[in-house]
A and B are shown apart, each in its own frame.
Chain A
Amino acid sequence: MAKNDLQGALDLLILKTLSQLGSMHGYGIVMHIRRVSDETLIVEEGSLYPALHRMEQHGWVRANWAVTDYGRKAKWYALTRTGREQLASREKNWAQVVKGVDAVLRFA
């Protein structure tokens, strides 16, 4: 059985974004997902930050304070090794979920 819940999807989006961008702050993650998904996926701050902090506690991401291109201090997040393993397993999991949901939808 593929593990499937909304939180899992959010975690997956964040992990993937960080793997693509290397390291990024919360606002940048929101903007990236929004831009890449053509404005269809808008991550709410109220969910993003608890998720980031939870992932930091699990040791999937590490964080440090740095200055942005525009001169603002921000907390930058980057994947750790466990985070990358986590991403790989979640991606596989997600593919299964999509396949499963698809099969249900196509059932005539």
Chain B
Amino acid sequence: MALLRRILSLGRRAQIDNEIDAELHEHMAMCIDDNMAQGMSREAAERDARKRFGSPTATRERVSAEDAALGLESLWHDVRDALRVFVKSPGFSLVVVATLALGIGANTAIFQLLDAVRMRALPVANPGELAEVRIVGGNRGFGVTDTEFTDFTVPMWQQVKQHHDPFSGVFAWRTDVFQVGFHGESRRFNVLEVSGDFFNVLGIAPVEGRLIEPQDETGCQITRVVASYSFWKSEMGGEPITANTTIRAEGRSVQVLGVTPPSFFGMVVGDRFDLAYPTCTPAHPRAESFVYSVMGRLKPGWTLKQASEYFNALSPGLFAKTAPAGYGSAGLKTWKDFRLGVYPAGAGVSYLRDQYNSSLEILLAITGLVLLIACANLANLMLARASVKKREFAIRMALGASRGRLLRQILLESGLLAACGAILGAGLAQPLSRALVNSLDTSQNTIHLTIVPDWRVLLFAAAVAIATCLIFATLPALRSTGAEPLSSLKSGERGVVGNRERFSVQRAMVITQIAVSMVLLVGALLFVRSYRNLLTLNPGIRERGITVGFFIFPSTNIKPQNLADYKRQMLDDVRAIPGVENAATTTNTPLNGTTWGHYVDVGSANGPSRFTYVSPSYFATLGIPILQGRNFSDRDTNASPLVLIVNQAFIRKYVSAPSPLGVQVHVRPEPQYPERTYQIVGVVPNTKYSDLREAVQIQAFVPIAQLPVTAQNPFVAMLIASRTPAADQLTVGHMLGEKYPGIQMQFSNLHQNVVDHLVGDRMMARLSGFFGFLAALLVVVGLHGVLSYFLAQRRREIGIRMALGASRSRVVAAMLRSACFILLAGLLAGTVLALLAAREASTLLFGLKPWDPVILAAAAVLLAVVTLLASLVPSMRAANVNPLDSLRAE
């Protein structure tokens, strides 16, 4: 077929052109032959033939235009031309490609993180069918909640296990931590507790051995586990799994049943599980303890809505059957009003998603804006180049090139640059995302996130590249091909006054740049100051030099009534260590996100309060002064009157008596915490409780020796104040290990924990600061470029003015005036935009308003200074224009 033949002959353009030439030439020849046969002279015959034929070049162009293969061929020709242009001006090409690569790379990196954290489906079979059952609206602080993902108590799970019509299979799971290895050198590993059907429902096949199955749900003693691929490789040497394969976990030997595939990281995006063990059915499950997340696979034909309706109908009976004992009627009513709903779970659950979603979205917007500024710079650069090429285009158009053909060539050039930038950018995005993830790692927690460019990421990079290409290339292309060839040829670049319209477009671009960078600078200053506010915030407690120890007692039988004495003995031993300034035991470590509370009645007032059970040394250890009344003493025990120290917020909310001392506080009953009446004996100032960002919390403290015997646990948290925490931690660990054999110890640093909680804020401060700085820099470059270009265009005008007697200062003033106009317009637009944008970020900010006037002013001044600096150099150069030279140059 002819078309095929043509395509096959691609690359042989010369041959096809020759063929067309020959055909047309023969046509002329035959015409001449005929004319001569009719008796014309040779000259007359040729003249007549040429007249009838018209322009041979034009005809040939029209014939080749019909040729599809030649169309492809000429495209290839344009590509070669474009590459030649790049090679000829490597500096220009390098700047454009590098700018685009960085811009697209930064955008793609952040999109990739968003994708990995939020959109990517779990690596399981048909993740779209997975759904999670949750209490609609959450458990409203009822009972004890294990993690933010656990919404089910054991009895609730047992009900759903039996009644789940919408699901072909259901499973429960939760995250846990194991000490793995032999005593003394054991390490903590992330563990999943999973019900028997977990792997079956997810559709995960073992790479070694077998996975957990329903028959493994036997005793509550942990005897068998499944290892993750990475744990198997790094901790077990990747040895084949046999019936005798065991590891040492939680102080005993457990059998390893099998290994999961490498892609399966568990259910929490951002974490990686190491081991999984089967759930068990305890004899007396705690009915107010929310420990499981429950998921299932929807049967074909069931929608999420239908499934929700099913569980909604099931809820009244389910919650009536599973109600915990020990609550008053108000508490029980809350419980029985709970309703279950069904939510999609194909993307798993994630702390990162909840914690960093808005941060990442704002970062994506920031990098997008930076790319926009960079694009404006590139557009200006292209515009300047286009005006140089204007004469070339005018000539080509006069010779018959169509506008479309020239447009195509320019857009192709920019498209190639954008494509190079996008490919490099997509490559650059990989290390950038990884660096970003690593910056969110803390001393306690490492984020494990699979970052691979999937189709969404590639599509995003391509879309960004096309958008940038359109922004920076279309305008210059239309501009340079839109000119009338004749006028353009006549004036060339020699106009006395530059084209007003062209200037106004470039001016508008610089104004946009200034406005956008104002937004970025305001954002940067907001995030940096917010981070600083958090770092310098005084929480009201001593943060530095405090070691947090968490001690789990060996499972030897310490009777619950002896635990209080055991803990006091341990505290006394630690306080006796030289170097330890003070130490205190507590049931809740401050500033690490955990909370504990009870519901209180004080006279006629009632409501919730935070409750912490502490040793008498607690306030001295953390440097909290007793404002009124007395501190606890070792004489305050369960045998003596029950006493309470409250903070000022507690008094403001609940106590109306003139002196709070002696006021009775009634605590409502809860499982393990019987009804009690305390007497306030002291007042402390308000301090930060679980998080730096929180509002003032209502707090009450009880002597740890008065903890109800039923609520005693075989573990304790200890706060140890010392001047050299790192060294003293070792001493404490050594002493306890010797004196209390079998004790499990974890140490951390209170200040480090607080700083760890701020990694998100640190990331925002650093990145927004960096991008704000970059934006300002890009504006300097852009403005300098545009002003230099104005100058080049107006050289002759300035020359004439100076020849007519204009002083240098007037010339400089004229240049600066136009810069000031641009600056003012940009700042005005920027302020409006910044105010709108900052509202979006307000939830991420701490201790300042999004419309902080100081920050707005600072950003404006900063931009004004850099803008004026950038315009000073071209303005001074304008003043040095030698009238004679500039006029002669024509």
A-to-B contact residues, CB < 8 Å? 25-27, 31, 44-46, 49-50, 53-54, 56-57, 59, 62-63, 68, 70, 72-75
Separation of A90 and B1 alpha carbons in the complex (Å) = 22
Residue interface bits B1-26, CB-to-A below 8 A is 1, else 0: 11100100000000000011011101
Question: In the bound complex, how far is the Cα of B33 from the Cα of A74, in angstroms?
Answer: 14
Closest CB in chain A relative to B47 CB, distance in Å: 16
Q: What residues of chain B have their CB less than 8 Å away from a CB belonging to chain A?
A: 1-3, 6, 19-20, 22-24, 26-27, 29-31, 33-34, 52-54, 58-59, 62-63, 65-68
Q: Which B residues touch A68, using CB under 8 A?
A: 30
> Given A26, A44, A59, which contacts B23 in the complex, CB threshold below 8 Å?
A26
A45 touches B62 (CB 8 A): no
Partner of A57 from the list B54, B58, B68 (CB cut-off 8 Å) is: B68
**A62 contacts B2, CB within 8 Å?**
yes
A54 touches B23 (CB 8 A): no
* B-side contacts of A27, CB under 8 Å: 26-27, 30-31
Residue of B nearest to A26 (CB): B27
> Inside 8 A of B34's CB, which chain A residues have their CB?
31
Q: Are A53 and B30 in contact (CB under 8 A)?
A: no
Contacts of B2 in A (CB 8 A): 56-57, 59, 62-63
Contact flag A74-B54 (CB < 8 Å), given A49-B59, A50-B63: no
From B1, B66, B68, A50 is in contact (CB under 8 Å) with B66
Q: Are A46 and B33 in contact (CB under 8 A)?
A: no
Closest CB of chain A to B38's CB: distance in Å? 12
In the assembled complex, the Cα of A99 lies from the Cα of B647 at a distance in Å of 102
14 contacts between A and B (CB under 8 A): A25-B30, A26-B23, A26-B27, A45-B27, A45-B52, A45-B54, A45-B59, A49-B24, A53-B63, A53-B67, A54-B66, A56-B2, A57-B3, A75-B26
Whether B52 pairs with A57 at a CB distance below 8 angstroms is no
- CB pair B6 A49 closer than 8 Å: no
| A72 contact set on B, CB distance < 8 A | 26, 29-30, 33
Pair B54/A44 contact, Cβ less than 8 Å: yes
In the assembled complex, the Cα of A26 lies from the Cα of B6 at a distance in Å of 20
Residues of chain A within 8 A (CB-CB) of B54 are 44-46
Nearest A residue (CB) for B68: A57
Whole-angstrom distance between the alpha carbons of A68 and B31 in the complex?
A: 13
Which residue on B lies nearest to A28, using beta carbons? Answer: B30
Known: A59-B3, A74-B23, A75-B23. A50 touches B62 (CB 8 A): yes
Question: CB-CB < 8 A to A54: which residues of B?
Answer: 66
A73 CA to B29 CA in the complex, in Å?
10
A81 to B24, CA, bound (A): 26
Tell which of B3, B58, B63, B65 has the most Cβ of chain A within 10 Å.
Answer: B63
List chain A residues, Cβ under 8 A from B63.
Answer: 49-50, 53
Closest to B34 in A: A31
Please tell me if the beta carbons of B33 and A70 are within 8 angstroms of each other in the complex: yes
Residues of B within 8 A of A26 (CB): 23, 27
A56 to B54, CA, bound (A): 23
How far does the Cβ of A26 sit from chain B's closest Cβ, in whole Å?
Answer: 5
Chain B residues within 8 Å of A70, by CB = 30, 33
Query: In the complex, A31 Cα to B33 Cα: how many Å?
Result: 13
Distance of B298 from chain A, by nearest CB (Å): 53
How far, in angstroms, from A59 to B20 measured CA to CA in the complex? 18
Docked complex Cα distance between A95 and B26 (Å): 35
Q: Which residue of B lies closest to A56 (CB)?
A: B2
Q: Are A74 and B26 in contact (CB under 8 A)?
A: yes
Which of chain B's residues has its CB closest to A54's CB? B66
Q: A68-B30, A70-B33, A72-B30 are in contact. Are A46 and B62 (CB under 8 A)?
A: yes
* 5 shortest interchain CB distances as A-B pairs: A27-B30, A53-B66, A54-B66, A50-B66, A75-B23
Q: How far is A56 from B3 in the complex, measured between Cα atoms in Å? A: 8
- What B residues does A62 contact at CB under 8 A? 2
How long is the Cα–Cα vector from A74 to B66 in the complex, in angstroms? Answer: 20
- Shortest A42–chain B CB gap in Å is 9
Are B30 and A74 within 8 A (Cβ)?
yes
B52 touches A50 (CB 8 A): no
Say whether B30 contacts A57, CB under 8 Å: no
CB distance from A30 to the nearest CB of B (A): 8
Instruction: Please name all residues of chain B whose beta carbon is closer than 8 Å to the beta carbon of A25 when the two chains form the complex.
Output: 26-27, 30
Closest CB of chain B to A104's CB: distance in Å? 33
Within 8 Å CB of B67, what residues of A?
53, 57
Identity of the chain B residue whose Cβ is nearest the Cβ of A71 in the assembled complex: B33
Point out the residues of chain A lying under 8 angstroms from B26, CB to CB: 25, 27, 72-75
- Chain B's closest residue to A31 (CB) is B34
Q: How far is the CA of A94 from the CA of B574 in the complex (A)?
A: 108
Q: Quick check: B6 and A46 within 8 Å, CB to CB? A: no
CA–CA, A50 to B62, complex, Å? 6
Chain B residue at minimal CB-CB distance from A47? B62
Q: How far is the CB of A11 from chain B (nearest CB, A)?
A: 13
B22 / chain A contacts, CB cutoff of 8 Å: 73, 75
CB distance from B45 to the nearest CB of A (A): 14
Tell me the complex Cα distance, A45–B63, Å. Answer: 10
A46–B59 CA distance with the chains assembled, in angstroms = 5
- CB closest chain-A residue, reference B52: A45
Instruction: List residues of chain A with CB within 8 A of the CB of B6.
Output: 57
Chain A residues near B19: list those with CB within 8 A.
75
Q: How far is the CA of A73 from the CA of B689 in the complex (A)?
A: 99
CB atoms of A46 and B58 under 8 A apart: yes
Distance (whole angstroms) from the CB of A57 to the closest CB of chain B: 5
State in angstroms the CA–CA spacing of A21 and B30 once bound together.
Answer: 18
- Which residues of A sit under 8 angstroms from B59, Cβ to Cβ? 45-46, 49
Q: A27-B31, A57-B66, A75-B23 are in contact. List 4 more A-B contacts (CB 8 A).
A: A46-B58, A53-B66, A57-B67, A72-B33
Complex Cα distance, B865 from A49, in Å, reads 66
Contact A59 B66 (CB under 8 A): no
User: Given the interface contacts A26-B27, A27-B31, does A59 sit within 8 Å of B1 by beta carbon?
Assistant: yes
CB neighbours of A63 from chain B (8 A): 2
Enumerate chain A residues within 8 angstroms of B65, measured Cβ to Cβ. Answer: 50
What residues of A have a CB within 8 angstroms of the CB of B29 in the complex?
A: 72
Per the bound structure, the CA–CA distance linking A26 and B52 in Å amounts to 14
Residues of B within 8 A of A45 (CB): 24, 27, 52-54, 59
Chain A positions within 8 Å of B52 at CB level: 45
Smallest distance from the beta carbon of A78 to chain B beta carbons, Å?
A: 13
| A74 proximity list for chain B (CB < 8 A) | 23, 26-27, 30
Find chain A residues with CB under 8 A from B1 CB. Answer: 59
Chain A contacts for B30, CB-based, 8 A: 25, 27, 68, 70, 72, 74
Min CB gap B752→A, angstroms? 74
User: Within 8 Å CB of A75, what residues of B?
Assistant: 19, 22-23, 26
Report Cα–Cα, A25/B24, bound state, in Å: 11
What are the residues of chain B within 8 A of A49 when measuring CB–CB?
20, 23-24, 27, 59, 62-63
Q: Closest CB-CB distance, A99 to chain B, in whole Å?
A: 31
In the assembled complex, the Cα of A7 lies from the Cα of B30 at a distance in Å of 25
In the bound complex, what is the Cα–Cα distance between A31 and B30 (angstroms)?
A: 11
Cα A8 to Cα B237 with chains together (Å): 78
Closest A residue to B62 by beta carbon equals A50
**What distance in Å separates the Cβ of B400 from its nearest Cβ neighbour in chain A?**
12
Closest CB in chain B relative to A71 CB, distance in Å: 10
Closest Cβ–Cβ distance, residue A59 to chain B (whole Å): 6
| Distance in angstroms between the alpha carbons of A31 and B67 in the assembled complex | 25
Q: In whole angstroms, what is the CA distance A73 to B3 when docked?
A: 23
**Shortest distance in angstroms between B98's beta carbon and chain A's nearest beta carbon?**
43
> Closest Cβ of chain A: how far from B68's Cβ, in Å?
6
Q: Which residue of B lies closest to A53 (CB)?
A: B66
> Which residues on B sit within 8 Å (CB–CB) of A59?
1-3
Query: What residues of B have a CB within 8 angstroms of the CB of A44 in the complex?
Result: 54
Report Cα–Cα, A27/B29, bound state, in Å.
10
A97 to B30 alpha-carbon distance, docked (Å): 35
**Across the interface, which residues of A come within 8 angstroms of B53, CB to CB?**
45
Alpha-carbon gap, A25 to B22, bound state (A): 13
Task: Provide the residues of chain A in CB contact with B58, threshold 8 Å.
Answer: 46
Taken together as a complex, chains A and B put the C-alpha atoms of A26 and B27 apart, in Å, by 7
Residue of B with least CB distance to A73: B26
How many Å lie between the Cα of A59 and that of B26 in the bound state?
Answer: 23
CB-defined contacts of B20 to chain A, threshold 8 Å: 49, 53
A27 CB to nearest B CB, Å: 4
